[in-house]
Structure 1
Amino acid sequence: MTSAAPILNQEVSRIDQVFEKQRRASREKPYPSYQERIDALNKIDKILMENQDEICKAVNADYGNRSHQETKLLEVAQMVSSVAYHKKHLKAWMKPEKRHVGISFLGAKNRVIPQPKGVVGVVSPWNYPLGLAIGPAIAALAAGNRVIVKMAANSQNLCRLLDKLVSAEFSDDQFAVIPGVRASAFTDRPWDHFVFTGSPATGKVVMETASKYLTPVTLELGGKSPTIVAKDYDLRIAAERLLFGKFVNCGQTCTAPDYLFLPRGAADEFIKHAKDVLNERYGTADSPDFTSLIDDTAFQRITDTVEDATRKGAKSVQLVAKGQPNAESRKFPPTVVLDVKEDMLIMRDEIFGPLLPIKLYDSLDEVINYINAGERPLALYLFTNDKQTEDKVLFNTLSGGVSINDTLLHVAQHDMPFGGVGNSGMGHYHGKEGFLEFSKIRPVFKQAKKSGILMLAPPYGERFDKMMKLMLKFRL
C-alpha cells in the first residue's frame, strides 16, 4: 500500500516541473497564433462533450449526491457554450486596436496589442468544481496563456478525471490539472496571473502571497448577497424564481441569495408559495434532485446555524413536507428562518447552504441602508416592475453583479463580466473583460519619418517658448 506522503511529494514535484515547462514555453513562444488558440478551445470542447457522463459521475461521487442533470445544467452546458462564445469573438478580440494620435505627434501611429501574460494559476473550489476550474482556463487559453489548475480537496474524483482527460489532449507546457498538491506549494511561486475562488479570509492570504512576486490576481470571494422583493412584485413569481437560485446545488453557490427582504406583512403568503413550489420540485429533502451538503463539516455548520438562530429567538420553517436533517446523507431540508437578529450566525456569516433568513421592511430606504452598512456583496437581486424602484436600488448600492426579477442568471451571460468588488473580490472573467483580464494591453507608439518632438529639444530659447505657448493655448 502506497502512503499519502510519497504521493503528495510526487505532486509537489510535478507542479514544479509543469510550472517550469510552461514558464519556459511562454517565454520561447510568447504569442500563440489565433489557430493555436482555437485548437486549444476545440480540445476543451471535445473533453466536455465526449465525457459528460464520466464528469457527472465524478462530481456525484465527490458530493455524495448531486444529480447528473444539475451538473449538466449548471456546469457542462455553461462551459460548452462558453467555448463557443470565445471561438466566435476571439479573432476580433485579438486584433490590434488603433488609438488616437495628438496633433503634436503628427504622422506618428498608436495602437494597443492584447498579448498573453504568460503562465496563469487557477485555484478552484469544490462547489462548482468543473465550471470554476475550466471557466477561467477557457478565458486564459483564449488570451494565449498557459494554464495550471489546482482543484479543491473535496473534488478529487473530478480532479483525477480531468487530469487524465486534459493530459490526453494537451501537453503539460500548455494546460494541466494537478491533483493532490497543497495550496501553499501551488500558490507560492511567480505566476504571471493568479485566479482564486473562495472565502475572503483565504483570498487575503492568496493576495499577500502574490504580492511577494507582484503577481496580478483575480479574486472571486462571495459574501452575503441580498435579495429584495419590492412591494409591487407578485410573490408567487418571486418565490418560483428566487427559490430556484437559492436551493439549486443545496444553496452551495457563491452568488446564491443569502437573505431575503420582504415587505412587512408578506411573509406568510411568501412561505405558502414557497412550500407549494418546493414540494412540487422536491417533495422531500431525500429527493435525488436535491444535492447533498459537501461534507460532514458543512452539515454540522448548517445544523449549528439553525440551532443558534432558534436559541436566540428565531423561528425556522421547513419548506418540504417530508424529510428531516440526515447526517448520513448530508441532506438538510430547505428552510426559511424568521425573526432573525444581527447577533445570529445566520446573519453574520455567508450561509452556503439550504437556509434562507427573511427580514421584513417598511421602506426601501431601510433596505438600502442595511445593505450599505455591510460588506459589498458579490451579487444583489431585486424583484420589481417599477423602474423608479429599480434605479433607486441600482444607483444607491454597489455589488459585484445584479439580476433583476431573477437570481444567478447574470453569471450565465457570456457577454457580461463576472466578478466582485471590495470584500467580494476583484477583477473579472467572462466576456471580453475576461480576455482582457488575462492579457497585457500593450501600447505601441510608432514615430513618423520625421520627428516633430525634436523641435522642442534643447537648447531652449525663443522657438521653444513660441511653440510651448501654442501648445498650451490650443491644449495640443
Structure 2
Amino acid sequence: MDGQAAAQVETVAVSGADPAGRIATLLAAQKAAWRADVNPDRATRDDRLARLDRMLVAWQDRFATAISEDFGNRPAIVTALTDVVPVRAAIRHARKHLKAWMRKRRVSLSWTGQPASAFILRQPLGVVGIVAPWNYPLNLMLSPLVGALAAGNRALLKPSELTPAFSGVLQQAVKEFFSEDEVAVVTGGPDVAAAFTAAPFDHLIFTGSTAVGRKVAEAAAKNLTPVTLELGGKSPAIVDRSAELGEAVPRLVWGKLLNSGQTCVAPDYALVPRERIEAFLVAAQAEVERQYPALSDNPDYTSIISAHHFDRLTRLVGEARDGGAQVTQLAGAHDPARRIFAPVAVTGAPADCALMREEIFGPILPIVPYDTLDEALSYINAHDRPLALYWFGKDKEAEQAVLNGTIAGGVTVNDTILHLAQDNLPFGGVGASGYGAYHGEAGFVALSKEKPVLRQSRFSGVKFLYPPYGRMARVMLKLLSKLG
C-alpha cells in the first residue's frame, strides 16, 4: 500500500468506554488480513520496511519535538542518536538480510530417517502486539516492529501514556504510511494497557518494569500468548584494578547520564576497588562537569519524565543519606521546576535501602566497594540477573572470570550500552530482567514459527515396521536399538 492510500485510513485512539472491544476489532481485522496472505513474499515485507524507513525520515523532526515536549527537555540529538538512528540501522540490516532469513533451512537426518529429506520453514506468527515504555518511546516501539514486519507479521502498537505528545504524532505518522490492517496504534492509560495485554495476540512484546512485566506475562498466559519481556533491573559496572580511570570513567559517565539515566541498560551501580573509590569520585566529578557544564542551563541534559519520578529519585537519595550514606554532588544543583535532577554519587548506602534494591532509572550512581574480584562477582550473583553488565579493565584473566562467572542479558567490555546497538547481537534479559530476545535475526526468529518439515522418499523402509509385527519388524527394532 502506498503512502497516499494509507493516508486515507483512520488511525485509532482507543479512549472510549470499551477499549477491549475496540482492540478486539482491530485485532480481528489484522488477523483476517493475515489469513488472506499467511506468508507474505519478500517484496511485500521489504515494501513495509521501506515505508517504515520513509516514515522515520519524514517525521523525525516532529518525533523529536513531541518527545522533548513530553520530557520537558530532551535534546533532539539524543532522540536522533538513541531513537532514530538505531531503528533506521535495524531497517537497513533487515532489508539486507531478509532473503537469507526467509530461506528454508535444509537439515540433515540421522540414518534412521534416510532416504527422506528435511528442512525448516520460517513463517509469520500472525499479529504481534508491542507495548513500549516512555524512556525511548520511538526506539523501543519501532525496533520490535522491524522484526515483526520482516518476519511477515502485522502489528498493533501501544505507546506509554506518559508520552502523550509522541503518541499522537506516532498515530499520525502510522496513519500516513500504513493501512490499519498492517500496523495500527492504540493509545490510552492503564485500562487500555490492561485490555491490550489481555488480547489474544500471536506474540506480545513488552518493555517496562519487572513488576508490570509479571502482570503482562500473567495476562498473556490466559491466551497462551508467547511473550518477549525486556524488564531492565540493576545493571552493574565493574571497575577492575587494571582499569585506567581516565578511559573508564568518561565511558561510564556517558552511559549513566545518557537521557539522564532513564535507560534500561544504564549502569545502575559501580563496583569499585575500595582503595580507588576516592580517585574514582574525583574523576567522575571532573567528567560530569566536562560533559555537562552549567548544568541548570544545559540544553544537552534531559529532564526527568515527570514530577512523580523526580520525587521518587529525591526519596531514593534521601533514604540512603538518612541511613548513613555519603552523597557526592557530581555537578550543578537540582531544579524541581524544570525536573532537572543533578547527578550524584552515593557511597555506603545500606543494602536494604530502596536505592540498592530498585532499578534507579535516573542520574544517581551508587558505588559499592570490593576487595577481591570474587567478592564483586558474589555480590552480583546474590542479586537478580541484570539486563546488562559492564566491565572495565586490561586484565584478560579477570575479564574471562567476569564473563564466565556471571549471567546477564548482555555485556559490553570497556564501555557501556553499545552492545545494544548491534543488530547481529540479540537483545534481551534473563530471569528478573526478562526473557526472549529481538534485534536482527534474533527478532526475525522470535516472531516466526520455525516449522519443521520432513519429506518422505518412495524408497522408505518404514513399511517394514507396519503391523502385523513379524520377524522383519523384530530385526528392524533390534537394529534401531543398537544404532538409533
Q: What TM-score does the superposition give when structure 1 sets the normalisation length? A: 0.96
Q: Note the C-alpha offset of 1:10.
A: 7.5
Are positions 1:298 and 2:309 aligned together?
yes
Matches within 5 A, 1:13-412: 14-180=22-188, 182-286=192-296, 287-320=298-331, 322=332, 324-412=333-421
Q: Note the C-alpha offset of 1:431.
A: 1.8
- One-letter amino acid of the counterpart of residue 307, structure 1: G
When structure 1 is superposed on structure 2, of 150-159 and 450-459 the one drifting more is 450-459
1:288-309 Cα deviation digits (max 9, x unpaired): 1110000011000000111101
- One-letter amino acid of the counterpart of residue 446, structure 2: E
- 1:159·1:179 contact (CA, 8 Å) conserved in 2? yes
Q: Distance in 1 between matches of 2:387 and 2:146?
A: 22
Q: Distance in 2 between matches of 1:232 and 1:112?
A: 47
Give the number of equivalent residue pairs.
469
- 2:252·2:267 contact (CA, 8 Å) conserved in 1? yes
Q: Distance in 2 between matches of 1:293 and 1:8?
A: 30
Q: Distance in 1 between matches of 2:393 and 2:463?
A: 61
1:258-294 Cα deviation digits (max 9, x unpaired): 1101111211211221122111111133211110000
Secondary structure of 2:345's aligned partner: strand
When structure 1 is superposed on structure 2, of 152-161 and 8-17 the one drifting more is 8-17
Q: Distance in 2 between matches of 1:7 and 1:217?
A: 25
- 1:226·1:379 contact (CA, 8 Å) conserved in 2? yes
Query: Residue 458 of structure 2: which of 449, 454, 459 is its match?
Result: 449
Q: Distance in 2 between matches of 1:398 and 1:304?
A: 30
- 1:8·1:180 contact (CA, 8 Å) conserved in 2? no
- One-letter amino acid of the counterpart of residue 51, structure 1: W
Q: Distance in 2 between matches of 1:163 and 1:14?
A: 16
Q: Distance in 2 between matches of 1:416 and 1:461?
A: 54
Q: Note the C-alpha offset of 1:206.
A: 0.7
Q: Distance in 2 between matches of 1:281 and 1:357?
A: 20
- One-letter amino acid of the counterpart of residue 34, structure 2: S
- One-letter amino acid of the counterpart of residue 288, structure 1: P
Q: What TM-score does the superposition give when structure 2 sets the normalisation length? A: 0.95
1:412-441 Cα deviation digits (max 9, x unpaired): 111110000000000000021110000000
1:79-135 Cα deviation digits (max 9, x unpaired): 111100000111000000001122223231101001000010001000010000001
Q: Distance in 2 between matches of 1:22 and 1:6?
A: 16
1:148-169 Cα deviation digits (max 9, x unpaired): 1101011111111111111111
1:335-381 Cα deviation digits (max 9, x unpaired): 10111220222101111001000011110010111111111110110
CA RMSD between the two structures = 1.4
Q: Which runs of 5+ in 2 are unaligned?
A: 1-12
- 1:376·1:399 contact (CA, 8 Å) conserved in 2? yes
Q: Distance in 1 between matches of 2:220 and 2:352?
A: 34
- One-letter amino acid of the counterpart of residue 319, structure 1: L
Q: Note the C-alpha offset of 1:14.
A: 4.0
Q: Distance in 2 between matches of 1:431 and 1:418?
A: 9
Q: What fraction of aligned residue pairs are identical, expressed as a percent?
A: 43
Q: Distance in 1 between matches of 2:389 and 2:25?
A: 42
Q: Distance in 2 between matches of 1:102 and 1:356?
A: 55
- 2:242·2:393 contact (CA, 8 Å) conserved in 1? yes
Q: Distance in 2 between matches of 1:184 and 1:345?
A: 27
- One-letter amino acid of the counterpart of residue 23, structure 1: K
Q: Note the C-alpha offset of 1:26.
A: 1.5
- 1:228·1:260 contact (CA, 8 Å) conserved in 2? yes
When structure 1 is superposed on structure 2, of 106-115 and 280-289 the one drifting more is 280-289
Secondary structure of 1:265's aligned partner: helix
- 1:428·1:434 contact (CA, 8 Å) conserved in 2? yes
Q: Distance in 1 between matches of 2:443 and 2:79?
A: 23
- 1:11·1:179 contact (CA, 8 Å) conserved in 2? no
Q: Distance in 1 between matches of 2:313 and 2:307?
A: 10
Q: Distance in 2 between matches of 1:437 and 1:405?
A: 30
When structure 1 is superposed on structure 2, of 336-345 and 125-134 the one drifting more is 336-345
- One-letter amino acid of the counterpart of residue 231, structure 1: R
